[in-house]
Amino acid sequence: MSLVALSELLGAPVRDAAGVAAGRVREIAVAPQDHPTRVAYLVVRTASGERALPADSLTACGATVRANTNLESWDRLAPSDGMLFLRRDLLDQQIIDVHGRKVVRVNDVEFDCSPVNSHLSLDVVSVDVGAKGAVRRLMKGVVPAFTLRALLDRIPPRFIPWKYVDLLETDPARRVKLKIAYEGLSKLHPADIADIVEDLPPAEREAVFETLDEEVAASTLEEIDPDIQVSIVESLDSNRAADIVEEMDPDAAADLLGDLPQESTGQILKQMDPAERQEVSQLLEFSEHTAAGRMTTDFVAVSEHGTVEDAIAAIRKFEGTREALATVYLVGRHHQLVGAVPLVQIAVSSPSTALSTLQEQYISCAPDTPEGEVAALFDKYNLITLAVVDEQERLAGVITADDVISMLRRKH
């Protein structure tokens, strides 16, 4: 097995079975639908136009490329958008480095070149994003080959294995043909995906958001800078946007919809599931900078006469964010707030214990409390969650500490 770089192959002279110089390598194509890494053919610029030299007739790959077939048998190049052209689609373009969790630019591509039966098989193994590839390309043809090799040996490599590379493609049809699904990306933590997405140009952001699973897209969107959130959601079609917004935490969804132009908000709301829509529309009516604007309406409330077992049953059914789970609220017959039990107490108590014996003093605030005061309450009472109650003392929503941290960070 030996390694060869894309920049070494591009421009290399090609000799056919008769040893005749047929032309030079102009491009290298991979067919992701047939094989994810194997090179399908080399595009050779010959005197009789551009031809596709099938990779399975290669016998040497390096400064000179040799084939065991004749020029006449190589097909003329036909346009195809199902092929990944490494020079055009990869070299100098941005990709997502899933392992390093960032967006990087490709300086070169490395192939593994190994003999199979009577020919060579060429597979993409990694992309070079470091100085090595850059220096090789800058110096090629400028300094003698052996000096260049000696120089390159002294540069520490920075390669990203091909399996950690997610390509960026803005055309949805082509994305399907090239089998780009952002599988690597979608396994990252939403906060990391958000960082990566913020670094991308708008069209590439949309491409990622069109492809990501709705749930992942929703948690990612929550972590993204509000301005960028708006531009992403506006670029998606309202159906897709509604699907993603439905999966978001209601308070985050309301914040986002509040920032959108009225028309888009209306369209997205119209396409949402009725229950979700009602929750979000209620939140939308509050100013973003008050307790009500910050609260989520997804929380765990149990009857004041319930037991630990009831609380656990409610927790199991709960579909909201984990942060809101930190406290189980006790409510009376008319949903008025009467007490709060920390999750820890529930975890350490026997199932039959009455919740009323575990309740602690709770702190609450009115829906129109300014967000600065909300933060002050969290600080003063060391809260993890804060209940928001209306004029009739009914529990309207819950503010969680993570929202307060985001709010405070945003101010600076």
Partner 1 sequence: MTIFRRGFMRRLAIFAAVIGPGFITASVDNDAGGIFTYSLAGAQFGYSMLWTMGPIMVALIVIQEMAARMGAVTGKGLSDLIREEFGLRITFLMMLALVVTNFGNIVAEFAGVASSLELFGISRYIVVPVAAAVVWLMVVKGTYASVEKIFLLASSFYVTYIIAGLLAGPDWSAAAVATVSRPGIEGIRNYGYLFMVIGLVGTTIAPWMQFYLQASIVEKGVTVRQYRASRWDVILGCIFANVVAWFIIVACAATLYSAGHHEIKDAADAAQALRPLAGDYAYLLFAGGLFNASLFAASILPISTSYVVCEGLGLESGLDKRFDEAPAFYWLYTLLIVAGAGVLLIPGFPLVHVMVLSQVVNGIVLPFVLVFMLVLTNDRELMGKHTNSRFFNVVAWITVVAMIGLTVAMVLTQK
Q: Which residues bind partner 1 (CB under 8 A)?
A: 92-94, 102-105, 107, 129, 134, 137-138, 195, 198-204, 227-228, 231, 234, 412
What's the closest the beta carbon of residue 338 comes to partner 1, in angstroms? Answer: 44
Closest contact distance (angstroms) between CB of 7 and partner 1 is 9
Nearer to partner 1, 199 or 215 (CB): 199
* Closest distance to partner 1 from the beta carbon of 97 (Å): 11
Q: 232 and 221 in contact (C-beta within 8 Å)?
A: yes
- By C-alpha distance, which of 96, 84, 148 is closest to 127? 96
Return the number of the residue (58 or 84) whose C-beta is nearest partner 1: 84
Half-sphere exposure of 214 (CA within 13 A, CB side): 11
69 CB-near residues (< 8 Å, 6+ apart): 16, 17, 53, 54, 57
CA of 5: how far to CAs of 10, 91, 225, in Å? 9, 11, 39
Q: Which is nearer to partner 1, 53 or 96 (CB)?
A: 96
Minimum distance, C-beta of residue 2 to partner 1, in the bound complex (Å): 24
Closer of 129 and 272 to partner 1 (Cβ): 129
Could you write out the DSSP letters of every residue in 44-98? EEETTEEEEEEGGGEEE-SSSEEESS-GGGSEEP---TTSEEIIIIITT-EEEET
- The tokens describing 210, both together, are 């069109």
Comparing CB distances to partner 1, the nearer of 104 and 401 is 104
- Distance of closest approach, residue 237 Cβ to partner 1, in angstroms: 15
Which of 223/304 has CB closer to partner 1? 223
Q: Biggest alpha carbon distance in the chain?
A: 93
| CB of 164 vs partner 1, minimal distance in Å | 17
- Distance from C-alpha of 77 to C-alpha of 342, rounded to nearest angstrom: 68
CB of 228 or CB of 408, closer to partner 1: 228
**Pairing verdict, β 327-331 and 301-303:** parallel
Minimum separation from the CB atom of position 316 to partner 1 (A) = 39
